[in-house]
Amino acid sequence: MKRRPKVLLAAALAVAAATATAFFALPAGAETATFTVTNSWNNGYQGQVTVGNDTSSAISTWKVELTLPAGTTVGQAWNATISSAGNTVTFTPAGWNATIAAGASTSFGFIANGSGRPTSCLVNGKACTGVTTPSSPAASSPGASASPSASPSTPTSGTPVGVNGQLRVCGTKLCNESGSAVQLKGMSTHGLQWFPSCYTDASLDVLANDWNADLFRISMYVQEGGYETNPSGFTAQVNNLVEKATARGLYALVDFHILTPGDPNFNLERAKTFFREVSARHASKKNVIYEIANEPNGVSWAQITSYAEQVIPIIRANDPDAVVVVGSRGWSSLGVSEGGSSSEIISNPVNASNVMYAFHFYAASHQANYRAEVERAAASIPLFVTEFGTVSYTGDGAVDVASTNAWFDLLDRLKISYANWTYSDASEGSAAFRPGTCNAGSFAGTGSLTESGALLRNRIRA
């Protein structure tokens, strides 16, 4: 099975829209800080602060001090460290985000217990010229394909990650922090080297808030002009997209996208370097899932397990709790596309815990016999459809609506998570957007969607 470069779609849990924004500005030429309420509920809210550098030189560190009214406290934060004295909460860098280049910015988020908005702000010790005023938060409307154990009045009722927390493998299912089986649904990027304009704040806002997705697959090609040409640059791109997903409460599936050559061991040292750096950066996050080999092909299952059992310990050294997805033989077809079956995985699973196995399909090409194999395998091993298309295995052609819906029905019944190829405007039948959409920045609504995009958006939102 050969394919053109492609990516996955991902979607699932509903994310509440931003409810309030205030701008704290220092005198011209100094730092700025923007505070936004990204989600709210009866007794609290989720806030985000973006610290910007409007100067002509880099800022080596930063500190934001927010004063909250009596009765409101900050319980947790991400991308920042916190300390409190009285009603003042101080946020300082997490380490990696201390330096802000000229004209650049960095963001952090927090959960507030209580409805009071900040009444004053300091950025690097200088008084802000504007303040927010306390207001009543709008009630959030949680949505998820999993059943949250907490009530909507708690912080866990908002974003997909807020609802489900740290995921783990339990038996043959993907489970949330409370042990309930969950099904993530979402979209995948195309190759980052080809479609960077498709993955902006605006497009991810649409994915989270309009599509109601809970999963964003970050597809980083290793060959074909990808990682091997600029390891530090592509690592930075991936890290940036993980941060964007985190800020929106989405799960981020980091895809080490190997395709040609099909032996993952060809990229073993690259994989060790990449996953060592990325897992160290995001070790404290609950939303990162690692897909360590996109589509192995032309190799034995023993070669794939050898690769996996060398890469997984690299991730575990930094992040012992993250779910890891291992590609299967025959372009992640459980071996079917090369005349095999899932029996080889069932009888010889990867020697590691918290592991799932990837299955990929393209609805116009892979039909009843592939669905039968997935049903059989799912009774014994945990599966994750990290990539699928509504068209043929080339990533192009007409949408096969009947086969796609048959796949949806099967995956929903078995509670198997999935990401669709592709959240891009590529000139391919699998693309979600019409060509030119990304450069125009017009992602919202249905006017710019292809037939495949409209089908996925409707299914995810439903």
Kindly report whether the global pTM for this prediction surpasses the value 0.75: no
Phi, psi of 392 (to 5 degrees): -85, 170
3-state secondary structure of 324: strand
- Residue 28 has a pLDDT of 39
Q: Is 277 designated active site?
A: no
- Residue 227 has a pLDDT of 97
Question: Domain for residue 146, yes or no?
Answer: no
Range of the domain at 92: 20-127
Q: Is 228 designated active site?
A: no
In b/e form, how buried is each residue of 191-222, taking b as 16+ CB within 10 angstroms?
Answer: bbbbbeebbeeebbbbbbbbbbbbbbbbbbbb
Mark out the alpha helices in 58-178 (DSSP H runs).
Answer: 160-164
Q: How far is CA 191 from CA 28, 410, 419, in A?
A: 39, 28, 15
- Which residues are 388's β-sheet partners? 361, 420
Residue among 295, 344, 373, 428 flagged as catalytic? 295
Q: Tell me, yes or no, whether 209 and 352 share the same domain.
A: yes
Both tokens of residue 54?
A: 């409007």
Question: Domain for residue 225, yes or no?
Answer: yes
Q: Give the length of the chain.
A: 462
3-state secondary structure of 300: coil
Instruction: Identify the CA nearest to 358 among candidates 425, 293, 301.
Output: 293
Both tokens of residue 233?
A: 């640059």
What's the CATH number where 263 sits?
Answer: 3.20.20.80
Question: Domain for residue 385, yes or no?
Answer: yes
Question: Domain for residue 301, yes or no?
Answer: yes
Phi, psi of 232 (to 5 degrees): -70, -40
| Strands 64-67 vs 73-78: parallel, antiparallel or unpaired | unpaired
Residue among 65, 177, 344, 387 flagged as catalytic? 387
* Cα gap 72→50, rounded to integer Å: 21
* Cα gap 386→284, rounded to integer Å: 23
Instruction: Identify the CA nearest to 111 among candidates 74, 151, 156, 137.
Output: 74
- Residue 30 has a pLDDT of 52
What's the CATH number where 112 sits?
Answer: 2.60.40.290
Tell me how many domains the chain contains: 2
Q: Tell me, yes or no, whether 177 and 122 share the same domain.
A: no
- Residue 24 has a pLDDT of 42
- Residue 22 has a pLDDT of 40
Q: Tell me, yes or no, whether 174 and 80 share the same domain.
A: no
Q: Tell me, yes or no, whether 103 and 203 share the same domain.
A: no
- Residue 127 has a pLDDT of 65
3-state secondary structure of 19: coil
| Tens-binned pLDDT, residue by residue, of the chain (462 aa) | 434 433 332 333 232 333 333 434 333 345 677 777 766 666 778 787 888 777 778 888 889 898 999 989 987 777 788 898 888 999 998 877 788 877 777 778 788 888 888 888 888 877 654 333 333 333 332 233 332 222 222 223 489 999 999 999 999 999 999 999 999 999 999 999 999 999 999 999 999 999 999 999 999 999 999 999 999 999 999 999 999 999 999 999 999 999 999 999 999 999 999 999 999 999 999 999 999 999 999 999 999 999 999 999 999 999 999 999 999 999 999 999 999 999 999 999 999 999 999 999 999 999 999 999 999 999 999 999 999 999 999 999 999 999 999 999 999 999 999 999 999 999 999 999 999 999 999 899 999 999 999 999 999 998
